[in-house]
Amino acid sequence: MHGRVKVKTSAEQAETKRKEREKKLKLYQVASAAAASKRANGEFDKEALEITQNILEQNPDIASLWNFRREILLFWEKDRQEEVQEVLSLELPFLESCLRVNPKSYGAWHHRAWVLVHAKHTDWAKELRLCGAFLQKDERNFHCWDHRRFVVQHAGIPDTDELEYTSQLISTNFSNYSAWHYRSCLLPRIYPDPEQKGRVAEDQLLKEYELAQNAFFTDPSDQSAWFYHRWLLGRAEIEDAITCVYVSKPLQTVLVSFSKPVNLRNEEDEAVLFVDSRPFPSKWQVPDKRSTFSHVWVCKLPPGLLEGETLQHCLHVSWKDGRLKKECLLYPGSKESWCQDSATDQKLFSLELSIEKSSVLRAEMDSCRQLLDLEPENKWCLLTCILLSRVLDPLGHASKTLTWFKKLLAVDPLRTGYYKDLRSKYQVEDGLLCMEYAETRVLHLARKELTSLFHLDLMVLVTHLDVSGNCLHVLPLAMSCLQCLQVLHADDNEIEDIEGVRNLPVLQDVCLKNNRLAHLSQLQPLTSCCRLVSVELGGNLVENLPDFYTHLHELLTHTRPV
Amino acid sequence: MGAPLNDVHIKTDAPSTLFLDKHADYIASYSAKKDDYEYCMTEYLRMSGVYWGITAMDLTGSLTRMDRESILEFMRHCQHDCGGIGASQGHDPHLLYTLSAVQILTLFDNLNTIDLEKVVEYIRSLQQKDGSFAGDKWGEVDTRFSFCAVATLALLGRLDAIRMEEAVTFVLSCMNFDGGFGCRPGSESHAGQVYCCVGFLTIVGRLHLVNADLLGWWLCERQLPSGGLNGRPEKLPDVCYSWWVLASLRMLGRLCWIDSKRLRTFILACQDEETGGFADRPGDVVGAVDCIRSKTTIQYKNCFPYLYIYSYLSKPCLQVDLFHTLFGLAGLSLLGETQLKPVNPVLCLPEETIQRLGLHLQLLN
């Protein structure tokens, strides 16, 4: 019971209470039976309204009784219009008293909306005042907030008035999360960003930064303003795009990756592959052979299609009726080729934060660091500093970011799992950036305290991956994106699931020393890697099984595990 | 400065082990007291009550203690001509109770007790132009009902019966600035609605449309120092959010973002050692309190997605109920409690039942 005060009562009091309840129950049962019999006999009269009112005053969530009342009113509508309007007008104070006793009754709020729509002369302004009164009593009552939005819509109240209302509420109490939420809905409607759908135009955005800052400088531990601030920094929606086309001659395969998961089997999302300008009837498959939606799709080409050592081939993928396309040229004599969008900082971080003017973000960073000087243990401020540093200059702030993470983990241990995963995500991003600057296909992620792998869809061209010395438990299914992976180093983790190596067509060397592989069945995914040359499993419990190497050879007949 | 933290204090002598048998006793005795005040006053949600009771009972491994035949007999009287199912005889049909009924019959492996074709027709008839679902013919729209619709159809293997793309579009239109979901477009995020929408997207294979990192952050911020979870910022913890929040995180592959040990301590502290069963939270509330109405003789309890009515209590102990008992047990099961059967995070039925149906629900990993 919410906030129930515990009181011990004597046996005597208990007995009185029991009797009271018995009496109440009797009354309730008699009334319910009467209402049911009236409904069954089609007695849609005033008495029926009275009976149901008596019960609903006690318990406003017996949905069938509200339904009965509506049936009566609809029945009268045919020839007793005036009476209906009169009852409808009386229904409002009755509902108000129900809601005063229980302001969170779904049934009562719904019935109120129904009445307001059915009444001929609804006073919407009055109804809006009622919402205001209820919200004054409980500023977080989401039923009433929803009712208010319904009233606003019917009364044609402009969004700007409602924005002003949220400003008032926030100025009296910064921690009114409901009001911040409402602002996030109103602002993109009132001040839409001309370029990014769902975002707020820059002038207004700057004012909102100021509002949020005022709030968290006043009370740095109040989460509402921080959640709102993260949204302001927020992400623009990722646009549809083909990010990479890759072709391999020995594998007779074309791979395409997209900016977000797509389902190429869906007719509307069909992608057409042209080989040397001729459409090729392609059968697209997902690398993990399971998912319906995927960033990455592959297509087998028939043998002979890319033949001829002296010929150049053009692979062209057209998507969304030709609006989006990408092509890659396979030069004479080459075994593979690709065309990939560069993973510049901005593109990577657009997943997390949109690109506002950097001066604004720098000013934000300055004020957050100022606040952090005053409140060195404030987790919200620490996290915001990290988010800002990621947008401004991820590699430049790398070591500072790690210090902040360390502090975060110390001050907010309940969210250890979240912070470690977030840190892993940023480490992977930095690793991808370094790989791109170095113009290689070798990704170094060893000893970075990784707890999870992120951005696997951006690793489609990686040939060598080193994730040794981390805290990984799983090589996840999504690793099947790494279709070019030849060498995988994953020693010294806590891996007990290697599902991710399944279906990696060119994987040759796998190092999994010192992990938590204890059963042969856990190694089963390796059987699908048909080019496997060596597997290292030293330091896993599985090694101690009797006749382990014999069993392993049986399992991997085509490999030579070391 | 600022708002006081809404949380509870867990006493050192609070229960810290699972009273497995006691809970089974509590559920069995609940359904035996049919003249009890609370039993009678909750008739309007009986079908869901039966679902909570038998699912909780099955998780404890004691389903045989429930009177299967009388439950099936009860259910034969609850389907209406339109195909929808009411909470009890004489109560109008609604999607909430239609889902509960199909969950019960799935668990009993007895789906043919009702006319399934009509159930499908009923659900189809409630889909609105914008893809949303009304809870019944009176038109209340809510993402809870989108979940009820697809969860029921998934159990019946009939997801093809509705206009899926529009249904997905509507649910996505309820996504908010914090990555969460509300009842309708523009409604504030609430962990219960988040569960419904994430569950909906899981069932229809569109989980990639959720911003899992952003929403996961909001969800893990629901954990309070007591270890308990609340449903929205600044609210008190409640055992049922051990389910709504935890199951959502499980679907998003981010269960490790909350502190399991602390949550387990909180859930166990909500048990009534004497009678069995779970209450919404352990005894002592600290900080601001959302609704003290100790003087009235009737108390309301709002627990997503229902409202309950209770008489004022005379007993100086936790007020336990079937709803919190199921979600307390289901939460513990998700946390890996070995004395309980594993629970499916999407449909809140034993995992073995979902496997028997051959339903494949792809979660994020």
- Nearest C-alpha of chain B: how many angstroms from A70? 9
Q: Considering only CB atoms, which chain B residues are within 8 Å of A61?
A: 44, 306-307, 309
- Nearest C-alpha of chain A: how many angstroms from B112? 26
How far apart are the C-alpha atoms of A425 and A258, rounded to whole Å?
Answer: 20
pLDDT tens readout for residues B117-142: 999 999 999 999 999 999 999 999 99
pLDDT at position B288: 32
Among candidates A13, A352, A415 on the partner chain, residue whose Cβ is nearest the Cβ of B314: A13
pLDDT at position B200: 98
pLDDT at position B40: 87
Q: Considering only CB atoms, which chain B residues are within 8 Å of A421?
A: 254, 256-257
Among candidates A70, A105, A219 on the partner chain, residue whose Cβ is nearest the Cβ of B307: A105
Binary contact (B138, A70; C-beta < 8 A): yes
B301-327 core/surface letters (b: 16 or more CB in 10 A; e: else): bbbbbbbbbbbbbbeeebbbbbbbbbb
pLDDT at position A235: 66
Q: Provide the β-strand partners of residue B8.
A: B285
- Nearest C-alpha of chain B: how many angstroms from A39? 10
Binary contact (A63, B294; C-beta < 8 A): no
Select from B221, B241, B324 the residue whose CB has the most chain A CBs within 10 Å, as the one to mutate to test that interface. B221
Percent of chain B scoring above 90 in pLDDT? 79
Among the listed residues B237, B201, B254, the one whose alpha carbon sits nearest the alpha carbon of residue B328:
B237
Among candidates B186, B283, B319 on the partner chain, residue whose Cβ is nearest the Cβ of A185: B186
- Nearest C-alpha of chain B: how many angstroms from A14? 6
Positive or negative, the CA dihedral A349, A352, A357, A361 is: negative
Q: Does pLDDT of B309 surpass 50?
A: no
For B227, nearest residue in chain A (alpha carbons): A414
pLDDT at position B157: 97
pLDDT at position A268: 85
Binary contact (B294, A61; C-beta < 8 A): no
Binary contact (A227, B233; C-beta < 8 A): yes
Query: Could you list the pLDDT tens digit for every one of the 562 residues in chain A?
Result: 444 444 545 778 778 888 888 888 899 999 999 999 999 999 999 999 999 999 999 889 899 999 999 999 999 988 888 889 999 999 999 999 999 988 999 999 999 999 999 998 999 999 999 999 999 999 999 999 999 999 999 999 999 999 999 999 999 999 999 999 999 999 999 999 888 888 888 889 889 999 999 999 999 999 999 999 999 887 667 889 999 999 999 999 999 999 999 999 998 889 999 999 999 888 999 999 989 999 999 999 988 888 777 789 999 999 999 999 999 999 988 999 999 988 765 555 543 444 555 777 888 899 999 999 999 999 999 999 999 888 788 888 899 999 999 999 999 999 999 999 999 999 999 999 999 999 999 999 999 999 999 999 999 999 999 999 999 999 999 999 999 999 999 999 999 999 999 989 999 999 999 999 999 999 999 999 989 999 999 999 999 999 998 888 888 876 555 4
Q: What residue ranges in chain B does DSSP mark as E strands? A: 7-9, 284-286, 298-303, 306-311
Instruction: Establish whether this prediction's ipTM goes over 0.90.
Output: yes
Residues 6+ away with beta carbon under 8 Å from A100: none
pLDDT tens readout for residues B4-30: 578 888 988 899 999 999 999 999 998
For A220, nearest residue in chain B (alpha carbons): B2
Binary contact (A223, B316; C-beta < 8 A): no
- Nearest C-alpha of chain A: how many angstroms from B64? 31
Q: Considering only CB atoms, which chain A residues are within 8 Å of B279?
A: 1
How far apart are the C-alpha atoms of A7 and B294, rounded to whole Å?
Answer: 10
CA angle B301–B306–B308, rounded 5-degree value: 35
* Confidence bin at B37 (pLDDT 50/70/90): confident
Binary contact (A293, B312; C-beta < 8 A): no
Q: Considering only CB atoms, which chain A residues are within 8 Å of B240?
A: none
pLDDT at position B297: 38
Binary contact (B280, A4; C-beta < 8 A): no
What SS3 state is found at A471?
Answer: coil
